[in-house]
Structure formats: structure tokens, C-alpha cells
A and B are shown apart, each in its own frame.
Chain A
Amino acid sequence: MSSLSQLIRNENMKIYFRPRTWLMVLFLVGTVALMSGIMKWDESRSETADWRASLTQQNEKMALDLQSSADMDEGSREYLQERITLNDYHLSQNINPDKLTLWSYVNSSASLIILVTLLTVVVAADMIAGEFTWGTIKLLLVGPASRTKIMLGKYISTMVFALLLLIVCFAAALIAGGILAGFDGLNTPDIYMGSDGIIHEGSMFLASIEKYGYNVVMLVMYVTMAFMISSAFRSSSMAIAFSLLCMLVGNTLSGLLSGYSWVKYLIFPNIDLTQYMEGATPLRPEMTLGFSIAMLAIYYVVFQFVAWLLFTKRDVAG
């Protein structure tokens, strides 16, 4: 009987011996490099001679706003107050907040996780449907491994691939940042205001990981959805096309339907958890972080169950 670890090795072999996989990695590295280059170019173009003067000016303007507009709501008031405190801290410590450090590049690379998701969705959609397209499904299933085990092996391999792309993305941004802004920036602290209203200096590494973390939730959901679609279709091009369509149309659709309250039960408005971070508003006012997490958990279980049902219960004919 097959052991799961051997099945995972098989799936890995089928992923990494395909030239396509390495083109994807190359594409990701290229995109990170391009983005970093543009950031650097943009910085050199808009560099202001005196950042201290501009911060002071900003603070004065914000203080004026706070005084003059009495009808300002509590949230905005707090936000402005925080900005002023942060700016003061930067001025007193003589740290230019607009100067790009190595971590600025890493943090910006978190926005490229959508690309990582896209690439992994392509791989996931191909995972089961591809076997049908190649005609190898019959040989794959006629062996001492249950379909559940085969599917689990495929899912784990897909997730490991996603992890690999995330590490590549992170590392590429770190290296690009190091080259463009100097590796001495590695120790730059993360300056933020805690809930206690005091300025803290935290680890930039942890802050970046957190930023990645939110996006990884989205990645896992889309990839699991693509995996389910893959087990529904018997053609990999159909599975890939349909998965990408869901991913791209989903957000637009939920934006269009935001007027209806039932839209919050769709997966798309819940998938981006950064909407609950500071300075962002969720699609519907009644949505909370807990609600979204619960919805995502339900969708996750349903996706897995449907994928399992489609893969293990259907007859393989033709």
C-alpha cells in the first residue's frame, strides 16, 4: 500500500519537472525586481530635500484640521492624532519615514501575493484535471492508493508549491531591497503606535510576516477553490480558465452587489481580511472579522468536501 509521503513525492515530481513551473518562479522573481526598480526610481524622482520641513508642515496642517473642523468623527480624529504623534517621533529620532529601506521593498512585495495566488491557482486547477487531460488518471488510480489519499497528496503538494512561491517572493524582495537600499536596513525597526497610545519599535520581520499572513488567507481560499474546480472538470484548460475567472470576476461582482445585504454570504467580500485593518472599511458595515473568518471556514470545508466527493465517487470512463 502506498504511503502518503511517497504520493507527495510523486506529485512534487510532476510539478517541478515541468518547465512551466520554473517559468512561473522566474516570472515572479522578475516582477518583484521590476516593482522594486520602479519604487527606487520613483523615490529618486520625488525626493524632497528637506524631509524634516515637510513633516513639520504636515503636522501643522493636521493640527489645524483637528481644531477647525469640529464635526469630524471620532475615527478620523484618532487617526490624525496618531499621525501627528508618529511624525513627532520620527522628527525626534531623526528617521526619515519616506526613505525606502530594505523592508519597504519587502512590505510592498506583499501586494504581489495576488500574483503568487494566480500562479498557484493555475497549478492547483491543473492538478486533477491535468491527469484527465493527459490520460494518466487511469494508471494513477489503478494502484494501491485510495483516491482520498491521492487527493490529499495532491492538495499538500499544491500548498507546498504555494509556500515555495511565497518564500521566493519574500526572499526576492529582501534581496532586491538589500541591493537598492543597502543591507544595513535589515535592523530598521517597525515604528507604530500601540493601543496604549505609546510609540513602539517592533521587529520589521514580524510586521512583514503579518502582512503576508493576511494575504495568505486569500491564497489558501482561492487555491482550495481552484482545487475543487479541478476535480469537477476533466479538462485542465477549462479548469484553469474557470478558476481564474472566478478569482477575477468575484471581486468586481461583490463590489457591484454591495447594496444587497446577502452579498456578505458570498466568499469574495470575506476573502480579503485586510479590510478589517486600520484605515479600511469592510464591504458591508455589519461585517466583522469574526463573521468573515467563520464564513471562510465554512467555505473551506465545503470546497474540500465537494472536491473529495467529485474525485472519489465518480466513475472514470472514456
Chain B
Amino acid sequence: MTEAVLELRNLTKRIGRRNIVDNLTFDIPAGEVFGFLGPNGAGKTTTIRMIVGLISMTKGEVRIKGVSVKDHFELAMTHVGAIVENPEMYKFLTGYQNLVHFARRHSGVTKQRIDEVVSMLGLQNRIHEKVKRYSLGMRQRLGVAQAILHRPSLLILDEPTNGLDPAGIRELRDYLRKLTREEGISVIVSSHLLSEMELMCDRVAIIQSGKLVDVRSMQDASGAAQSKILLEAGDPAAARQLLSQLFDASQLAVSGPYIEIAADKSAIPNIARVLVAADIEVLGIHSVQKSLEDQFLEITGGEMVV
């Protein structure tokens, strides 16, 4: 693993007697799209705002490219581009003036760079119009443009898809992919839209009640442990009896008319053979990929019982 672009160490935010964010520790390596997932109120936004200094931290540390946000805010922020919720721009300025405004804060953003970003996001035709005449999708693009002007190492997106229609979401996703590929930057995205995260991210952290519940790679997610086989048999009880010889009891479960078997589809031929040999009617058998949504609900649901 390459050097971490973002490091969180025991990050905590306490408001009143409650820890909104509780001892978060994780790293994001260079070039990774990292998702930050959790139900509403889990502390995603608070964490992201602590990373960018909008909210003070009660305890812990955030380092961006090794620079502490608390001690050297200005230096740390030179590496960061951010879209915090819907990118609100100065509506009385043109798109171009808005970009100039944000470019001025960084040293070394040239006119050429602004033009380059403008054409990369396909804004060149309307960049000299006032932002108040932009659609939400165009504002979103301008928001992305603003965030990448100074070639940041880390792009932070807080609920970037809020208020976007499906086409807009897709567009944003494509830009992010393009950015990580072409500019090699790390991205941290927070969202409660699971399907989006599944498509966008390399790794996902799930947080609940301010605590880190799980960090998992999306490659694993499509692996064996995350898929199951659904079996519909004429005599479920007998089928189950039979299958318990093949699988652990923990791998078997009954849901409605189905028997769920936690195994990947390479086990199907074997299951079918055994059932047919025992003369049990097989009405249906298929493998199901567990989506991130299932995993998410499983994980957060489990937590709530405890």
C-alpha cells in the first residue's frame, strides 16, 4: 500500500454528553475512492466537516499528506478539494468569475488551468453566464470544477448526489472515475445512497452512531462470502435435513418458501445432484449476489439489536 493521503486517528466529536463521532481511525491510500456510508445521523457529515476544519474536533487528529489539519490548517488545505453538500456558488457572478474566485485562493492556478478544467467538464458554452441561470446539474459540474482547479491530492465529497436526478448522479460518477484515472487523486465520498456507493467506491467504511462498524473492499463484496444460493424444494424439511450433511448449520437458513445457503454458485451442481438422488423435488435453485444494501442493513441492523 502506498503512503496514506488521509489519516484519521481517534477522531472524536462530543456535543453535550453524546459522542457524535467516536474514536474513528482509518487511512485512505493514494488513488482510492473511499466511501463513507451510514444511516442519516450516523456522523458522516460531522466527520467530513472535521476533516476540512468546518467543525472543531474534540479529540484525535486528522492528517492530510502527513500535515495535521489542526496545527497547519492552511498548508493541509492546499491538498484538498471539496464539495460539501450541494455546491452553492455566488449566483450573481458568472461561472467563470466563481472559478476565478476559488482559484485565487491557491497559488499557481493559471488561466490555462481554468480553461482546461472548464472544457474537461463541458462547461465552455455557458461559463460566462450568471450562475443563477444554471441548472442544478451544471452547478454540480461547476462545483467539481472548483474542487479540482488546484490539482488536489484529496477530493472530499459530502453527499454529492443530494438533489440530483439519476442522470446527474451518473454524470457525477463518470467525472469521479475520470478524475481518479486521469489525475490520480484520492476521493472520499459520503452518502446514504448504497447503490451509488457500490458503483463508485473501491472501499467502503460503514459507520453507525459515530462508530466505525466495518471497512470493506468492494472486490471482496462480490466474492464468495457475500453470495448465497436460494433453493425452493417440494419438501423443505427433508431438503434441509439432507443439506445439513453437506453444509454447516450456520450456512443454512429458511426464509419463506426458500432455503438460503451461504455458498457461491459452484456448489449448485452438487446440491442438485444430492437432492435429485434423494428424490426431492427441486422447484428452483439460483445464486444471489448480496448487494451492499443487504450487507449494510445486515451490519447496521445487527448493531441495533446489541
Contacts and interface: CB of A to CB of B under 8 A. Distances in A.
B105 interface: yes
B102 interface: yes
Contacts of B86: 135
Contacts of B143: 139
B52 interface: yes
B56 interface: yes
Given A134-B91, A142-B54, A317-B55, A13 B101 contact: yes
Given A2-B104, A134-B91, A142 B75 contact: no
B188 to A, nearest CB: 13
Interface stretch (A4-12, A92-100, A281-289): A4-12
B105 A144 contact: yes
B117 interface: no
Contacts of B104: 2, 6-7, 9-10
B105 A7 contact: yes
Contacts of A317: 45-46, 49, 54-55
| 3 smallest beta-carbon distances between A and B, as pairs | A135-B88, A138-B84, A144-B77
A41 interface: no
Contacts, number: 91
Given A1-B78, A315-B55, A317-B54, A17 B105 contact: no
Interface of A: 1-3, 6-7, 9-10, 13-14, 17-19, 134-136, 138-139, 141-146, 313, 315-317
Interface residues of B, number: 37
Given A1-B78, A139-B146, A144-B74, A134 B90 contact: yes
Interface string B51-67: 01111100000000000
Interface of B: 45-46, 49, 52-56, 73-75, 77-78, 80, 82-93, 97, 100-102, 104-107, 143, 146, 156
B74 A14 contact: no
Contact of A141 (B53, B56, B89, B100): B53
A313 to B, nearest CB: 8
A8 B106 CA distance: 14
27 contacts: A1-B74, A1-B78, A2-B74, A2-B104, A2-B106, A6-B105, A7-B105, A13-B100, A13-B101, A18-B92, A19-B92, A134-B91, A136-B88, A138-B82, A139-B88, A139-B102, A141-B52, A142-B77, A142-B80, A142-B82, A142-B156, A143-B77, A143-B102, A144-B105, A145-B74, A146-B73, A316-B49
A18 B88 CA distance: 17
A315 B54 contact: yes
Contacts of B93: 13-14, 17
Given A13-B101, A145-B105, A316-B54, A138 B85 contact: yes
A6 B109 CA distance: 12
Contact of B74 (A134, A146, A315): A146
Contact of A142 (B46, B53, B90): B53
Nearest to B150: A144
Given A3-B107, A138-B54, 14 more contacts: A6-B105, A14-B93, A134-B90, A139-B82, A139-B83, A139-B102, A142-B52, A143-B106, A144-B75, A145-B74, A313-B56, A315-B49, A316-B55, A317-B46
